[in-house]
Structure 1
Amino acid sequence: MKKLTLLVLLISQFTIFAQDYKFGKVSKEELKEKFHPLDSTADAAYLYRKRRTSYSYINGVGFQLVTEIHERVKIYTKEGFEMATKSVAYYNPDSGETESVSSIKGYSFSLVDGKVVKDKLTKKSIFKEKKNKSYSIKKITMPNIKIGTVIELKYKLISPYTNSIDDLQFQFGIPVKKIDYNIEIPEYFIFNKRSKGFYNVPMKKTAKNGTIGSLNYRIDVFGFEGDNIPALKNDEPFISSIYNYRGGMKFELTQTNFSSLQGSIKTFSNSWEDVSKQIFKSSRFGEELNKKSYYKDDLQSIVGNITSEKEKVAAVFQFVKSKIKWNGNNSKYTEKGVRKAFKERVGNVADINLMLTSMLRSAGLKANPVLVSTRKNGVPLFPTLNGFNYVISMVDFTDGTSVLLDATEPYSLPNILPARTLNWSGRKVTKEGISSWIKLTSTKHAIEDNNLMVKISDDMIVEGLFRTKFINLSALNFRKNNNHIKDESLITKLEERYNIEIDDYKVVNKDKITTPIVRNVKFISEDLIEEINGKIYIEPSLFLTVDKNPFKLVDRKFPVDFATPWKESNRVFISIPQGYKIEQLPKPLAIGLPDNLGVFKYQITQSGNKIRVTSILQFNNGIIAPQYYSALKDFYSQLVKKQTEKIVLIKE
C-alpha cells in the first residue's frame, strides 16, 4: 500500500511540474530531475513539444503555410548533448520560390548553486548552410550546455508551397512527456490523413472561422495531444529507416476547391493511377523520355548490328554508367534535364535513369521507368505523390522475362540494384499511361563465401590463408565501399576487426563487375587460441565466429530488413599441431526458421590431423515480418551458443 501511495505521489508531482509550458518559464523541478521517470536509460527527453501549422492569406500573394515550433528538452547525460544542436531544413532552390526560417528564440537553463541560470541564444550561434541545390539548413547551437540543462527553442517555418504539410511526428529516439499539435486547414484544401508507425495519438477535429476581406470561410482544426510517449530508439539492427516506424501522421493533398473564389477544382492523388499519370505528365519526367536527338549518333555506335535483346541492354546500360556520373541527388524528376546532364556528364537519379530508359526504347526495347521509394524514404502504402523519390528502368523481353536497371551505380548489374532501392515494390509507368506494381527485392542471394586455412605453430601462433568470394549484391557493396580506398587502410581495418596481422593482401576482379570479387589474405595471430594447463581451446570458426545475438528486444513491432536474401558460407581447415590430439569436438547442428525463411547448418569433422568446420547461414527472404521475431531471436541464440563452443586439444 505504501508503494502504491508513493507511486501515485510521484505521478502527481510529475503532472504538477509538467503543466507550465509558457516559453521561458522552466521550473526548478525540471532542472533537478536526474533521469526520466519512465525511461531511466534516456539520454534526453522532450518535456514539451508544440506545433501549430496554419494557413496565412496575404493580399496579392495568396495563402502561405506557417509552421510554428516550440520545444523544451531535458538533457540527462553527455550523450544527450547532441540534442542541443538543431538543424532545420527548408526548401531554398537556386531559382523560384523559397521557404524561410524565422523568429528563432532560445534559452538554456541550468541549476547552479541552487539558482536557475538562464543563457540566451544569440545570432552568433545560428548558421545557414547550403545542403544541396534545393535545400538549405538553419543550424542552431544552444549555449552553455551541461548535464541537467533544459533547453527551450522556438522558430517559424514559412512556405509558399501550400499543397504540402510536413509529417506530424509523435515518436522520437528520446521519450516525450507531452505533445500538443494543431493543424489548421482552410476548407479550400482537402487532405487525406494517414497514420504511420506503431504509436498513435487520437485526433480531435474542431472548426473555426477565417476571413479574407469580407469573405468568411471555415478552418478545420485537427488537434493531437499526447502524454508519456515512449522512445523508439535507433539501436536495433537490420532496419531500413527507424523514422518509418515511429508513430506519426501524414497529410496528403487530394483536392483543392477554390470555386467559391472564382477558382477551379483540382484533384490529386486519389489512386495509384492518378499518381502515376500526374508524375508522367510532368515536363521533368514524361517529356524528358521523348528527347532523343542528343544521343542519336552515340546510340548507333553502341548498338551497331547487335540483335540480341540482352546484349543491347548490356551495351546501353554500360554506356550510360560510364558516360554520366551520379551527383548523389535522389528524385523522380530531372534536375538538369537529360540533354544538359548528357553534355555535362553528371546528373541526378532521374537525369540518368530516364536517359537510360529513352535510349533503351530507341534501341527497339520495351523499356519503362519504375518509380521507387528509397529505403530511407519509407514505404508508400497509400496513393501519394511524395511517396516516390527515385526512378529506375525496366526492360520487358519478348521471352517473358524482365530486368531492372539503375545506371547511377557504376558497380551495379542487371537485376542487381543498389541496396537503397530495395524497398518492397516500385510502380512501373508506361507511355500508354498504365501503371503496375513491380517487386524490387532480388531473388538472388547476396553471397559471401569464406575459406580459412590455418596451422598452429609450436609457440601457439596461428598462421593462415583467408579467401573470401563476394557475389551479387555483396560484390556490389564491396566494390562500392572499398575500391576507392588504399590497400593500406583496408589492411588496417581488417587487422583491427579480426585481431590479426596481415602479411599479404590482394583483391582480384576489382573492376570486372560481371565476375565475383575475391579477396586473399595471408595472416598471423597470437590471439585466436587459448592454452590453459596444457590444453588448447579453439573457437572452430576463429575470427568468423558470431559470438553475440544482434537481436536484443523482447518484442519487435517492425520487420527485420536485410534488404535482400543472403547467404554466408564458411569453411575452416585447422591443422592439429604435432603432439596433440582431439579431446572434444562440438556436435553438429541444423536449425531452420518457419516458412523456409532461413537455415543454419554447422558441422565439424576430423580427417587425420585436419579439422574441417563447415557452416552455412542463409536467409531466403530480404524481410522477416515481426511475427517471426521471437523465432529469429531464438534462432540466433542457438547459433551463437553453437559457434562459441570450443574445440579442445590435449597432448598425446
Structure 2
Amino acid sequence: MKKIIFALSICIATCTVAQDYKFGKVSEEEVSEKFYPLDSTADAAYLYKYRRTYMDYSQNVGFQLITDVHHRIKIYTKEGFDYATKSIFFYDPDKGSSESVKGIKGYTFYIENGKLESEKLSKDGIFKEELNDFNSSYKITMPKIGEGCVIEFKYTIVSPYEKYIEDVEFQKAIPIKKLECKIEYAEFYVFNKTSKGFHTVPMKTDSRSNIIGSTSFRTNIFSFDDENIPALKNNEPYVANINNYRGGMKFEISQTNFLAIGGEFKNYATSWENISKEIFKSQSFGEELEKTSYFKDDLEKILAVAKTDDDKINAIFQFVKKKVKWNGSYGKYTSKGVRTAYKENAGNVADVNLILTSMLREAGLNADPVLVSSRGNGVPLFPTNKGFDYVISVVKFPDNSYVLLDATEEYSVPNILPVRALNWDGRIVTKDGDSDWVKLSSTNHATEENMVIVKVTDDLALEGFIRTKYDNLNALNFRRNNNHLKEEVLITKYEENNKIEIDEFKIANEEDLDLPVTRSVKFTSEDLVETINNKVYIEPLLFLTQHNNPFKLEDRKFPVDFATAWKDITRASIEIPAGYKIESLPEALAIGLPDNIGVFKYQVQELGNKIKTVSVLEFNSPMIPPQYYAFLKDFYGKLVAKQSEKIVLVKI
C-alpha cells in the first residue's frame, strides 16, 4: 500500500506542474518544486529542452542553417548553480564566413515573500569570448540565482555551413523532463543518421513542400520527442568521454544534388579512406607538409650532429618542441600555417606536428602525419569528417615497427603520447593520401614503484623513508602536474595527503626525459600506528593502502578506460620495536582477471625483526570492456579488503 501511495505522489507531483512551455510562462508550481520527482538526487533538471534546426534560403546567400534553442532548467541545490552559466559556441574565424548568435534572451524565476518573481537577463550578463583563431562563444550568466529557482533562456545560431548539423543530444548529466527536437533540411541534401549512446528516442519523419523561384522541392523533417529521460552522470572513474555513451543522433552529410536547380551532384566521404584523402588534399594539411624552405638552415645544423635514425628522430623532436609551442588549440588543419607558426614560435596541434613531420621527412625518415580523435572529441563510431580533431606524427621502419610523436607535449618522449591523444586508434596518412589505422596506446606499462623503509619507534611512532619512481606515461603526467609547482607546495600537498611530516624532500630527473622521475622523502608520522587494548595495529602498506573500491555501480554499460596499460609495485619494510612480537600478519593473496587483463599479488612476511610486504597491481590493457565490469569490481573489492588488513603486534 505504501508503494502505491508513493507512486501516486510521484505522478501527482509530476502532473501538477504546469505544462506550458511557452517562453516566459514559468509556473509557481515549477519554482516551488523541492526535488525532481523521478530522481531526488538531481541537483538540477531540464524541465524543457527544445531545439529546432532548419534551412533557410535567400537569393543572395543561398541556404543557411538556423538553430533555435529554448531551455528551461530547474535548479534544486547549490551544486546545480553551474547550470545558470551557459556558453554558446560558434565558428568565428578571422577570415571567411562566420556563424552568428542572435536573440539571446533569458529570465530567472524565483519565489520572494510568497510571490513568483522574475529577473531578466541583462546585457551585462552576456560576454563574448574569443577562444582561438576559429571559435568564439557567448557566455551567459543568469541573474538572481538561488536554490529552487528556474532559469529560462533562448537564442538562435545562424550558420552559412548548412552541411554541418550539430549532434542531437537526447541525454545529459541531469534529467530531462520534456524533450522536443526537429531537424529539417531540403531534399537537395542527404544526411546519414546514426544513433549513439544507450538512450534511444524514436525518430518521426515528415515533409512539406517549398518553392525556390519556379522550382518546388520537399523539406524533410525529423522529429524527436520524449519525456522523463534519466541522467547519465560521470560519477565513476576512468571514463574518457561520457558523451560517447549519452543518447543522441548524429547527422553526417552524404551527398548533395542540385541538378534540378542548375547546380551539381556531389558525393561526400563515406569511408575512412575517402575522409583521409579529403583531409590530405586540403591546403591546410597536405600542401602545408610540402613546405620545407623555412626550416632548411635549422635542419642542416641538426643533421650535422645527428647521424643515426634514432639520433635524427630525437634531435628533431626535441627541437620542434622547443621551437614551436602549442597554443592549446586542437585541429586537424593548420590555423596559422606552418611558416607563420614557425616564425612566431607558436601554433595549434596541426601547425606543430605537421612541422615535425615535414622536418622528419626532409631528414630522410619515413614519416607521416596521423589523424587522431582526441579524448574530448569522443570515439567516432562511423566514418565522419568530424571524427578527427588532432594530428600527431609517425616514423615507420622497414621491420614494421614505428615511433609515435607528439611535439605539442613538453614532457613527451617517443612512443609515449599525452593522455589527450590516447583515444583508440589513429589514421596514418601517407604521401600519396592513402591511409591505415595505427594503435595509439604504448606497449610500455605506465609504472609507479615505491620502496618504503620505516621503523616503529619505542613511543610507537613511525620514522622512515620512501622512494617513488615514475616511468613512461606516469613520468609524463608527474612532470606536467608538478614541474610548475614550488617545492614548498609539493611538500605541503604530500604531507596533507599522507598524514606525515616531511624532514627531507627531493625530486630528481624532472627535466631529464630519458630517465624516470624519482621522489625521495624522509618522514615521520604519529598517525599510522594504532594502539587498542595493548595491541599495536599497522597497515602493511602504510599511507599507500587503497581503502576504497573506485567502482561502485552495480552495472556499467561503458568501458573502463585507463588510457594505458599500467603497473604499481610497492615494497615495504617495517622494523618492529624491541619488546614486541608479531601476533598476526595478513595472509598472501594472488588474484587475476579473465584473459590476462590484470593481476594483483600481495604478500606479507616476517624476516627477523622486520616485516616485508610486496604488492603488485598490474593491468595489461588500456581499456576493459563492460562485460568484465563485474569481475573488475569484485577484483578491486578483494584488493581493498586485503590491503586494509593489519599487522598486529603485542608486547613480549
Same fold at TM > 0.5: yes
CA contact (8 A) 1:18 1:47 kept: no
The CA deviation string for residues 394-441 of structure 1, in whole angstroms up to 9 with x for no partner, is 111123311111111121111111111111001111112211111111
Correspondence for 2:238: 238
- How far did 1:555 drift? 0.7
- Paired residue for 2:469? 469
Bigger Cα displacement from structure 2, 162-171 vs 110-119: 110-119
Does the Cα contact within 8 Å between 2:394 and 2:403 map onto a contact in 1?
yes
Note the C-alpha offset of 1:113: 4.0
Q: Using the TM superposition, give the Cα deviation of residue 101 of structure 1 relative to its aligned residue in structure 2, in angstroms.
A: 1.5
For 1:404, the equivalent position in structure 2 comes to 404
Check 1:27–1:570 CA distance in 2 against 1; reply closer, same or farther (3 A cut).
Answer: same
Q: Cα offset for 1:12?
A: 5.5
Amino acid in the other structure paired with 1:422: L
Asked if 1 retains the 8 angstrom alpha-carbon contact of 2:419 and 2:563, the reply is yes
Aligned twin of 2:271: 271
The aligned residue for residue 621 of structure 1 is 621
Contact 1:309 1:397 in 2 (8 A): no
Alignment map for 1:240-639 (pairs within 5 Å): 240-304=240-304, 306-639=306-639
CA–CA separation in structure 1 for the residues paired with 2:525 and 2:305: 57
CA distance in 2, matches of 1:487, 1:305: 36
Letter in 1 for 2:498: Y
AA aligned to 1:262 is G
CA deviation after TM superposition for structure 1 residue 622, in Å: 0.4
Q: CA deviation at 1:16?
A: 5.2
Whole-angstrom distance in 2 between the partners of 1:330 and 1:3: 52
Please say if residues 215 and 261 of structure 2, whose CA atoms lie closer than 8 Å, have aligned partners that are also in contact: no
Q: Which amino acid in structure 2 is aligned with residue 614 of structure 1?
A: V
CA distance in 1 between partners of 2:321 and 2:28 (Å)? 61
Higher alpha-carbon deviation: 123-132 or 41-50: 123-132
The verdict on how the C-alpha distance between 1:10 and 1:312 changes in structure 2, with shifts beyond 3 A counting, is closer
Per the alignment, in what secondary structure is the counterpart of residue 386 of structure 1? helix
Per the alignment, do residues 250 and 18 of structure 1 end up closer, same or farther by CA in structure 2, a change over 3 Å counting?
Answer: farther
2:73–2:152 contact (8 Å) kept in structure 1:
yes
Q: After alignment, is 89-98 or 272-281 more displaced?
A: 89-98
- Report if aligned partners of 2:605, 2:613 keep a CA contact under 8 Å in 1: yes
- Counterpart CA distance in 1 for 2:86 and 2:400 is 52
Partner in structure 2 of residue 189 of structure 1: 189
Structure 2: how far apart are the matches of 1:472 and 1:6?
55
Instruction: Write the distance in 2 (CA, Å) between the matches of 1:130 and 1:298.
Output: 34
Q: Which amino acid aligns with 2:218?
A: R
- For 2:424, the aligned partner's letter is W
Q: 3-state DSSP class of the match of 1:25? A: coil
**1:208 is the counterpart of 2:208:** yes
Does the 8 Å CA contact 2:445/2:472 hold for their aligned counterparts? yes
Structure 1 residue 20 corresponds to structure 2 residue 20: yes
CA RMSD of aligned residues (A): 1.5
Note if contact 1:56-1:64 (Cα within 8 Å) is conserved in structure 2: yes
In the TM superposition, what is the alpha-carbon distance from 1:213 to its structure 2 partner?
3.3
1:18 to partner: Cα distance: 5.0
What is the letter of the counterpart of residue 373 of structure 1? S
Which piece of structure 1 moves more, 112-121 or 149-158? 112-121
Letter of the 2:22 partner, please give it: K
Q: Could you tell me how far apart the structure 2 residues matched to 1:131 and 1:323 are?
A: 23
Equivalent position of 1:129 in the other structure: 129
Give per-residue Cα distances to partners, 1:343-401, cap 9 Å, x unaligned.
12211111111111111111111111110001111111211111100011111112331
Q: 1:325–1:347: 8 Å Cα contact kept in structure 2?
A: yes
2:16/2:29 contact within 8 Å kept: no
The 3-state SS of whatever aligns with 2:333 is: coil
TM-superposed CA distance for 1:31, in Å, is: 2.0
Sort the Cα spacing of 1:472 and 1:15 in 2 relative to 1 into closer, same or farther, 3 A. Answer: same
SS at match of 1:550: coil
Deviation at 1:261, TM superposition (A): 2.0
- Work out the CA distance in 2 between the residues paired with 1:255 and 1:498: 59
SS of residue paired to 2:240:
coil
Instruction: State the alpha-carbon separation in 1 of the partners of residues 289 and 586 from structure 2.
Output: 61
* Structure 1 residue 6 displacement after superposition: 5.9
Aligned equivalent of 1:217? 217
Distance in 2, Cα, partners of 1:98 & 1:537: 67
Is the Cα–Cα contact under 8 Å of residues 101 and 157 in structure 1 kept in the other structure? yes
Query: Structure 1's 18 and 628: CA in aligned 2 closer, same or farther, altered over 3 A?
Result: farther
Q: Is the 8 A contact 2:205 2:222 kept in 1?
A: yes
Between the aligned partners of 2:305 and 2:87, the Cα distance in structure 1 is: 55
The SS at the match of 2:98 is coil
Shift of 1:458: 1.9
Change (3 A) 1:3 1:455: closer
Give the direction of change, closer, same or farther, for the CA distance of 1:224–1:16 in structure 2 (3 Å limit). Answer: farther
Taking the aligned partners of 2:215 and 2:407, their CA distance within structure 1 comes to 53
Could you report, residue by residue, the CA deviation over 1:596-651 in whole angstroms, capped at 9, with x for unpaired residues? 10000000001111011110000000001000111101101000111111111111
Supply the AA of the counterpart residue of 2:500: I
Structure 1 CA distance for aligned equivalents of residues 549 and 6 of structure 2: 38
2: distance between equivalents of 1:592 and 1:2?
45
Query: What is the CA-CA distance between 1:2 and the residue it aligns to?
Result: 7.1
Instruction: Give the aligned residue type for 2:496.
Output: E
Are the equivalent residues in 1 in contact too, given 2:53–2:184 (CA < 8 A)? yes
Q: Deviations over 1:265-293 (max 9, x none)?
A: 22212111110010000001000111111
Cα deviation, residue 122, structure 1 = 1.8
- 1:187 and 1:335 mapped to 2: Cα distance? 34
CA distance in structure 2 between the aligned counterparts of 1:596 and 1:562, rounded to whole angstroms? 16
CA–CA distance in 1 between the matches of 2:124 and 2:424?
45
Offset at residue 5 of structure 1 (A) = 6.4
Worse-matched range after superposition: 31-40 or 624-633: 31-40
| 1:80 is aligned to 2:80 | yes
Q: Is residue 323–residue 342 contact of structure 1 (8 Å, CA) maintained in 2?
A: yes
CA shift for structure 1 position 460: 2.2
> Could you say what secondary structure the match of 2:465 adopts?
strand
Q: Which moves more between the two structures, 532-541 or 598-607?
A: 532-541
**Equivalent-residue separation in structure 1 for 2:322 and 2:68 (angstroms):** 46
**SS in structure 1 at match of 2:495:** helix
| CA distance in 1: counterparts of 2:437 and 2:605, whole angstroms | 48
TM-score normalised per structure 1:
0.98
Cα distance, 1:25–1:306 mapped onto 2, change above 3 Å: closer
2:144 match? 144
Preserved CA contact (<8 Å) 1:197 1:244: yes
3-state secondary structure, aligned to 2:617: strand
TM-score by length of 2: 0.98
Distance in 2 separating the partners of 1:3 and 1:487: 58
Q: Which runs of 5+ in 1 are unaligned?
A: none
Q: Give the whole-Å Cα distance in 2 for the aligned partners of 1:530 and 1:334.
A: 60
DSSP 3-state at the match of 2:385: coil
In the TM superposition, residue 36 of structure 1 has moved relative to its aligned partner by 0.9
* Amino acid aligned to 2:472: N
Task: Provide structure 2 residue ranges, at least 5 long, that are not aligned to the other structure.
Answer: none
Q: In 2 relative to 1, CA 13–647 (structure 1 residues): closer, same or farther, beyond 3 Å?
A: closer
Residue identity matched to 1:403: V
1:183-226 deviation line (CA, Å, top 9, x unaligned): 01111221111112111111111101223233322110010011
**2:306/2:315 contact within 8 Å kept:** no
